[in-house]
């Protein structure tokens, strides 16, 4: 497995502002993903963070709203832009470990509340 550090763990933000969430892994990983989990719901994949290139977004998610960076094999950021109360959710970083059995492991998540 891998040790995944995600921060901040929680935040309360004003509508119209942006928040950047960081995900740091203790080893190089092949794949990094960002998920959203709305209250009482399951996980929805936002995008795959690609090292050195633009992220691959899922249907319903766009780069202008959720810009993602992945400058190297151990670090990624997700920004939630121009926030509204509907963005209140838990955001989760997930990784697949290089040479592993393709299982995905999760960071502890960021609980975002937009007021």
Partner 1 sequence: QKEVEQNSGPLSVPEGAIASLNCTYSDRVSQSFFWYRQYSGKSPELIMSIYSNGDKEDGRFTAQLNKASQYVSLLIRDSQPSDSATYLCAVKRYSSASKIIFGSGTRLSIRP
> Which residues of this chain interact with partner 1, rule CB under 8 A?
31, 33, 41-45, 48, 56, 90, 92, 94, 96, 101-109
Interatomic CA distance for residues 60 and 8, integer angstroms: 25
Q: What DSSP letter does each residue of 34-89 carry, written as one string?
A: EEEE-TT--EEEEEEEPTTS--EEPTT--TTTS-EEEEETTEEEEEE-S--GGG-E
In this structure, what token pair is assigned to residue 8? 């901040």
Q: How far is the CB of 70 from partner 1 (least distance, A)?
A: 15
List CB contacts of 106: < 8 A, sequence separation 6 or more.
4, 35, 92, 93, 94
Q: In terms of CB distance, is 75 or 106 closer to partner 1?
A: 106
Q: In terms of CB distance, is 15 or 54 closer to partner 1?
A: 54
Q: In terms of CB distance, is 16 or 54 closer to partner 1?
A: 54
Q: In terms of CB distance, is 33 or 66 closer to partner 1?
A: 33
Q: How far is the CB of 82 from partner 1 (least distance, A)?
A: 26
Q: How far is the CB of 84 from partner 1 (least distance, A)?
A: 23
Q: How far is the CB of 15 from partner 1 (least distance, A)?
A: 24
């Amino acid at each position: 497995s891998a040790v995944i550090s995600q921060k901040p763990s929680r935040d309360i933000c004003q509508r119209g502002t942006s928040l950047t969430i960081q995900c740091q892994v203790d080893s190089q990983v092949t794949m990094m993903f960002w998920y959203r989990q709305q209250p009482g719901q399951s996980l929805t994949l936002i995008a795959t963070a690609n090292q050195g290139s633009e992220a691959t977004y899922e249907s319903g998610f766009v780069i202008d709203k959720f810009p993602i960076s992945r400058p190297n094999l151990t670090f990624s950021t997700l920004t939630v832009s121009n926030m509204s109360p509907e963005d209140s959710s838990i955001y989760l970083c997930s990784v697949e470990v290089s040479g592993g059995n393709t299982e995905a492991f999760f960071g502890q998540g960021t609980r975002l509340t937009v007021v």
